[in-house]
Structure 1
Amino acid sequence: MAHTGCGCPGSMARVIERVESAPAEATGKAPSELRQWPVQLHLVPPTAPWFQNSDILVAADCVAFALGSFHADLLKGKALAIACPKLDNTAPYVEKLATILKENEVKSLTIAIMEVPCCRGLDVLVRQALELSGKNVPVETVIIGVNGERRN
């Protein structure tokens, strides 16, 4: 695998060949399942009402673009926080997520990351935050391939 100047194989330029397909529904438009704003982890308030008694999805930024059925398959019924473990300043993320978990009754955590190595950092920091919070919340990690397929 060739590396780019930045050293991360996940940053390697790739062309993804697609075969044209018919829309999934006659309307051609899937409804949004987004239930709150903002969604960026840096911006969400830890005590926002949407985190109370919730299932939380912490997704890497690229997941929603790679997984065409993101809204239906991962987002539906969940509070959302998005982040990029490669490009964001992630230093405050562990503490912020730990505060979200401490201050709210959270039913479950889903971590959605891309298959590229640099994305694994998001899984690690969410799990660190859970440990720091002292809470026992079920966690599932979903890995999405760069071609848009679910890897696990």
Structure 2
Amino acid sequence: MKRKIITINEDLCDGCGNCVSACSEGALQIVDGKAKLVKEDFCDGFGDCIRECPTGALIIEEKESMPFDMEATKECLLKTKGKEAVWGMEEAQKKHETKEHKPMPCGCPVSMAQTLQIKKSSAETSHQKAEPQLRNWPVQISLLPLKAPYYQGADLLIAADCCAYAYAGFHNDFINGHTLAIGCPKLDNANAYKEKLATILRDNDIKSVTVAYMEVPCCMGLVKLIEEAVREAGKDIPVKKTKISIQGQVKLPDF
């Protein structure tokens, strides 16, 4: 049958195990350092595990899979974890039935439709036209050259695509004084990003890296792949992280 079920991006998974603890049905396990969906028929497709993933490695997809088997799940939990685990799963299912927990579209708030309120005061008082601060082209990570004059001695800003649209003063507050690279860890090849950025960092004299990312879970993958790229480059390059809310506010980074 075709239904919603968890899918795991192993390139983004760091093996933390948070999702395993969050899965009341016992459908997930850590195998060889990566989260695995070990029992399709134990996954109810509601995605309680997704919000616990720090890297955005988990999404919900609609695809052909075995139907969720609640009775088999209960039986397995009773044998392996005891009555308390069965009770915990039953409580989770009750919440789903009463729609206290709704499955998130595509498994991530990034695709959840929302209407945002614009603060009229800021729109009415901002009469001065902001000057663009972009100093390099191209800016998409997939199109960036491996070597370029604008990398030398640069403060590199690596930003999630959505940041410039969410944060009103992105040019002045972020791009100003930086060489820019942008990308989306959810829609593009995260491993290819990591390898390319590692090469750029290794082969050029880059002073610092600033990561601007959105508050949605899948954007955490950008932070993780950049940290890995810096390690692979073998250089002691400081990395600053800035999280932006969908309302356009700067928030404390997750880590």
TM-score range, shorter chain: over 0.9
- Equivalences for residues 4-83 of structure 1 within 5 A: 4-21=104-121, 22-24=124-126, 26-27=127-128, 29-83=129-183
| Cα displacement string for residues 95-125 of structure 1 (whole angstroms, at most 9, x for unaligned residues) | 1101111111111100000001000000000
Q: Offset at 1:49? A: 1.3
Q: Offset at 1:5? A: 3.2
> Which ranges in structure 1 are unaligned for 5 or more consecutive residues?
none
TM score, norm. by length of structure 2:
0.57
| Contact 1:111–1:139 under 8 Å retained in 2 | yes
TM score, norm. by length of structure 1:
0.94
| Contact 2:191–2:225 under 8 Å retained in 1 | no
Q: Offset at 1:10? A: 2.6
Taking structure 1 as reference, are residues 33 and 2 closer, same or farther at Cα in structure 2, changes over 3 Å only? farther
* Residue of structure 2 equivalent to 1:143: 243
| Cα displacement string for residues 46-102 of structure 1 (whole angstroms, at most 9, x for unaligned residues) | 102111110000000000000001011111010010000011122211111011111
Tell me, yes or no, if structure 1 residue 130 matches structure 2 residue 217: no
CA distance in 2, matches of 1:91, 1:137: 20
Q: Larger relative contact order (C-alpha < 8 A, sep ≥ 6)?
A: 1
Matched-pair identity in %: 47
CA RMSD of aligned residues (A): 1.3
Taking structure 1 as reference, are residues 135 and 106 closer, same or farther at Cα in structure 2, changes over 3 Å only? same
CA distance in 2, matches of 1:16, 1:138: 34
SS of residue paired to 1:128: helix
> Which ranges in structure 2 are unaligned for 5 or more consecutive residues?
1-100
SS of residue paired to 1:6: helix
Task: Decide which structure has greater helix share.
Answer: 2
| Contact 1:2–1:12 under 8 Å retained in 2 | no
CA distance in 2, matches of 1:34, 1:123: 22
Number of residue pairs aligned between Structure 1 and Structure 2: 150
* Residue of structure 1 equivalent to 2:190: 90
Taking structure 1 as reference, are residues 144 and 105 closer, same or farther at Cα in structure 2, changes over 3 Å only? same
Structure whose alpha-carbon radius of gyration is higher = 2
Taking structure 1 as reference, are residues 51 and 3 closer, same or farther at Cα in structure 2, changes over 3 Å only? farther
Q: Say which is worse superposed, 3-12 or 48-57, in terms of deviation.
A: 3-12
| Cα displacement string for residues 117-149 of structure 1 (whole angstroms, at most 9, x for unaligned residues) | 000000000000000000001110000001000
